[in-house]
Structure 1
Amino acid sequence: MLLGFKTELKVNNQQRTALAKHCGVARHAWNWGLRLTKQILDHNQENSQEKIKFPSAIDLHKWLVALVKPECPWYYEVSKCAPQYALRQLSSAWKQAFKKAKKPPRFKKKGRGDSFTVDGWLYVDHFRVKVPVIGWLKTYERLPTEYQPKSFTISRQADRWFISWKIEVEPITPPKTQSVVGVDLGIKALATLSTGEVFVGAKSYRKYEKKLSRLQWLHRHKEYGSANWKKAQIQIARLHRKIANIRKDTLHKLTTYLAKNQSRIGIEDLNVSGMLANHKLAKAMADMGFYEFRRQLEYKCQLYGSELVVVDRWFPSSKTCSNCGTKKETLSLSERVFHCDHCGKKCDRDLNASINLEIAAS
């Protein structure tokens, strides 16, 4: 199976400038293509009789070469793949928007999610990679050289640069300690297993919320575009990266533990986007990373030979008694201890839900 591999680059000032130029060209091509496609959509809505065919990624690139490149000679300072892949990603984003799978694409801003993709003459050595136009880039760790990639994606987080590609990995089937386990996600505890184990979330945003607020308050008083303004931006971006890394580390450890030791895992199909609409709980839920938990668990179950069972989101795991199966009519969030009026069973609310998920996954 194919897995993503990502590592940090060890770049000098000249290479950092070249990478920033590639990101700028990719962002310019994306914004130009998005502006053009929006104009076409507006024209088709106003003139239903004289509709213009919605352009594909190939059409957009042809128009970019004919219209934009002659007026923007700095396009020739970077690899031709950077604007090509940006337009491909734009076309894919519009297809998902037309299918109602995602929201329509938005314009990109400098310094936010800067990245670009290249292909062609690529090579991976032990501690360096070769990228078109830029040349050799060093890395901090030894790289897997068994599989030569077809494309590289280079991205920036704060003041650091990262490179990623896909590698071929053989599935691993370690011995399992449990046959079936239910996992209930929550805010108080990140995950409660039907075995009684409780994993507490990192809550990294809550830990650094005051520090982040302080940095943002100081940043607003800086003169826009000044050296101190740029330094403050990097400080805020570093703290955001630290918060995200702490959260991802916690989730990686938990999902790896589950996929390696459990042969079958039952989780609930949570409506994360709908849950985040609750402004009272949105911050705490986002700090846990429910969506990232499921994403990691899905590919790790394939990697370690486990089976992931996603229980229907309307399954009343919290309201149902795990002993006799009696369902309660109402159960408020403040009730942390589940008490069954039929059989008299008392247990933790999250543990009761995880046991029900284990029964549903069996």
Structure 2
Amino acid sequence: MIKTQVVKLKVNKTMQKHLDNLCDYRRYCWNKGLETWQLMYEAHTLNKKDNPSPNERRVRDELVAKKEDWQYELSARCLQLVVKDLANAWKNFFDKAQSDWGKPSFKSKKAPRQSFKTDRAKIVNGKLRLDKPRSVSKEDWFDLSSYGALKMSEVKVVSIFKEKNAYYAALPYEEKIEYKSKTHQKTAVDVNVGHFNYTDGQINVLPVKLQKLYKRIKHYQRMLARKREINGKSAIKSNNYSAVRTKLQRDYRKVANIQNDLLQKFTTKLVDNYDQIVIEDLAVKDMMMTHVASKGMQRSLFSKFRQILTYKCDWYGKELILADKTYPSTQRCAKCGYVKTGDEKITLQGNQKHGTKHNEYICYKCDYSNDRDENAVLNLLALAR
């Protein structure tokens, strides 16, 4: 299996300057390549006979032919890999099944993450050595050590990115993974805002410590907004503004680490104890009705849970079963199979006709009653073989 290790880099001020220049150069190449691609496509649309359709080779040749003098001082591989990624982005645009489907857009220097790629990096004495641009002398170019030990001795394509004033490296490597032993057990997971239900209980993905962090994040966001409202664009230049923004970024990082730890442990527990796992194939965008509900769904990380569980099932030889989007796991009776329709449906407010709460499931055909989420788990479990 191909895994990716993300490590935080120890970078001095000299290397910070060079890495920032490479990040800026990748963004410049991406925007220039996207502009060229769009112009070629428009010309091809107007006159297909004289103007061929854009592709990776044609766009790359056009960018290389129009290189400025200053571009020759930076890594040539940066431009080559940008055009390759741009071609893949356009290819994914025509496949709506992609999780991050969308039209390629221009990169902004204000984006929270800036990055570049290289395929000429090496591991030397446990440190990462990047290919040196022509404009940099050997005395100003250093090997990068990391806060964690590297798990590989060779690397191919390395992604360096800057986020929240820290530098990270994403290093792919191959690892032999053995399938886990069979348990002959099956389970189903019903995802909800704030918690996931499965056959052995419930896991809370928005614990109390996260609620405290979100309150503090809201407080810092209001402080920054108030400073921008009073001082305008000059607010971002003040030291006080930078200090508050640093605190905000720190809390966002804490939230991401806590939730990632919860999901990793929960998905590992599932693949350790079960051979078949059933989850719902949810249309999350269609479920975001109000800004309040949308915020809760985004914080519950439905898509990330499915992503992590998918690759872990592939790694360890477990079977992941997706329930169809139209499968009525909530409205179906787990005992007799009756599906509620019309004014008998259970909504977020419950059922007004029978006066039941949103977490109650009562079947009026067979007098079956259960918790709504537990009933959904049993319905999903019926899809396992």
TM-score normalised by the chain length of structure 1: 0.89
Asked if the contact 1:125/1:145 (under 8 Å) is kept, the reply is no
Matched residue SS, 1:360: coil
Question: Residue 61 of structure 1: CA displacement?
Answer: 2.5
Q: Is the 8 A contact 2:22 2:116 kept in 1?
A: yes
Q: Name the SS for the 2:3 alignment partner.
A: strand
Distance of 1:82 and 1:58 partners within structure 2: 15
Q: Does 1:342 align with 2:365?
A: yes
> Normalising by structure 2, what TM-score?
0.84
Distance change (3 Å), C-alpha of 1:344 and 1:210: same
Residue 294 of structure 1: how far off its partner (Å): 0.5
- Structure-2 separation of matches of 1:175 and 1:103: 40
Q: Measure how far apart 1:183 and its partner are.
A: 0.2
Change (3 A) 1:187 1:178: farther
Q: How big is each residue's C-alpha offset from its partner over 1:80-124, in whole Å with a ceiling of 9 and x where there is no partner? A: 222221221112111222344522111111142211110125226
**What is the DSSP-based 3-state SS (H/G/I as helix, E as strand, rest coil) of the residue aligned with 1:361?**
coil
Match of 1:210 in 2: 218
Residue of structure 1 equivalent to 2:260:
248
Offset from partner CA, 1:308-352 (integer Å, 9 cap, x none): 111111111111111222222212123211111122222211111
Kindly provide the amino acid, as one letter, of the partner of residue 366 in structure 2. C
User: Following the alignment from structure 2 to structure 1, what is the Cα–Cα distance between the partners of residues 317 and 123?
Assistant: 31
CA offset at residue 188 of structure 1?
4.0
How far 1:180 moved relative to its partner? 0.2
Q: Which has the larger radius of gyration?
A: 2
1:167 maps to which of 173, 188, 194 = 173
Taking only the aligned residue pairs, the percentage that are identical comes to 29
Aligned-pair CA distance for 1:171:
2.3
Moved more, 252-261 or 173-182: 173-182
Q: Counterpart of 2:60 in structure 1: which amino acid?
A: H
1:288-299 to 2 correspondence within 5 Å?
A: 288-299=300-311
Q: Contact (CA 8 Å) 2:121, 2:155: kept in 1 or not?
A: no
Measured on the aligned residues, the alpha-carbon RMSD in Å equals 2.4
Correspondent of 1:96 among 76, 92, 99: 92
Aligned AA (2:27): R
Equivalent AA in structure 1 for residue 283 of structure 2: N
- Structure 1 stretch 329-338 or stretch 168-177: which is displaced more? 168-177
Question: Distance between the aligned counterparts of 1:358 and 1:314, measured in 2?
Answer: 16
What is the one-letter code of the residue matched to 2:10?
K
Q: What is the match of residue 312 of structure 1? A: 324
Instruction: Give the letter aligned to residue 166 of structure 2.
Output: R
Write the letter of the residue equivalent to 1:254: F
Q: Secondary structure at the match of 1:202?
A: coil
Query: 2:264, 2:308 within 8 Å by CA — same for their partners in 1?
Result: yes
The aligned counterpart of 2:198 is 193
In structure 1, how many angstroms separate the alpha carbons of the residues matched to 2:322 and 2:180? 22
- What is the one-letter code of the residue matched to 2:4? G
In 1, distance between residues paired with 2:259 and 2:295?
14
- The Cα shift of 1:19 comes to 1.1
Residue 120 of structure 1: aligned partner: 120
Structure 1 residue 236: deviation in Å?
Answer: 4.0
Q: Supply the distance in 1 between the matched residues of 2:322 and 2:247 (Cα, whole angstroms).
A: 40
User: 1:85-164 residue pairs with structure 2 within 5 A?
Assistant: 85-100=81-96, 101=98, 102-112=101-111, 113-123=113-123, 125-126=125-126, 128-133=127-132, 134-145=141-152, 148-164=154-170
Q: Which residue of 1 aligns with 2:381?
A: 358
**1:226 is the counterpart of 2:240:** no
Q: Distance in 2 between matches of 1:224 and 1:208?
A: 21
Distance in 2 of aligned mates of 1:62 and 1:142: 40
Describe the shift of the 1:10–1:243 C-alpha distance in structure 2 as closer, same or farther (beyond 3 A). Answer: same
Unpaired stretches in structure 1, ≥5 consecutive residues = none
**d(CA) in 2 for partners of 1:188 and 1:169?**
34
1:5-154 matched pairs, under 5 angstroms: 5-45=5-45, 47-48=46-47, 52-70=51-69, 73=70, 75-100=71-96, 101=98, 102-112=101-111, 113-123=113-123, 125-126=125-126, 128-133=127-132, 134-145=141-152, 148-154=154-160
The AA in structure 2 aligned to 1:163 is: A
Q: Is the 8 A contact 2:41 2:54 kept in 1?
A: no
Measure the CA separation in 2 of the matches of 1:21 and 1:333: 51
Within 1, Cα distance between the matches of 2:328 and 2:124? 50
Among candidates 281, 299, 308, match of residue 293 of structure 2: 281
CA contact (8 A) 1:57 1:88 kept: yes
List alignment gaps of at least 5 residues for structure 2: 133-140, 350-357
Q: 1:98 to 1:149 in 2, by over 3 A?
A: same
C-alpha distance in structure 1 between counterparts of 2:51 and 2:368, whole Å: 66
For the residues of structure 2 that align with 1:239 and 1:176, how far apart are their CA atoms?
40
Q: Distance in 1 between matches of 2:194 and 2:369?
A: 19
Tell me if the contact between 2:217 and 2:252 (Cα under 8 Å) persists in the aligned partners: no
Q: Is 2:217–2:251's contact at 8 Å kept on the other side of the alignment?
A: no
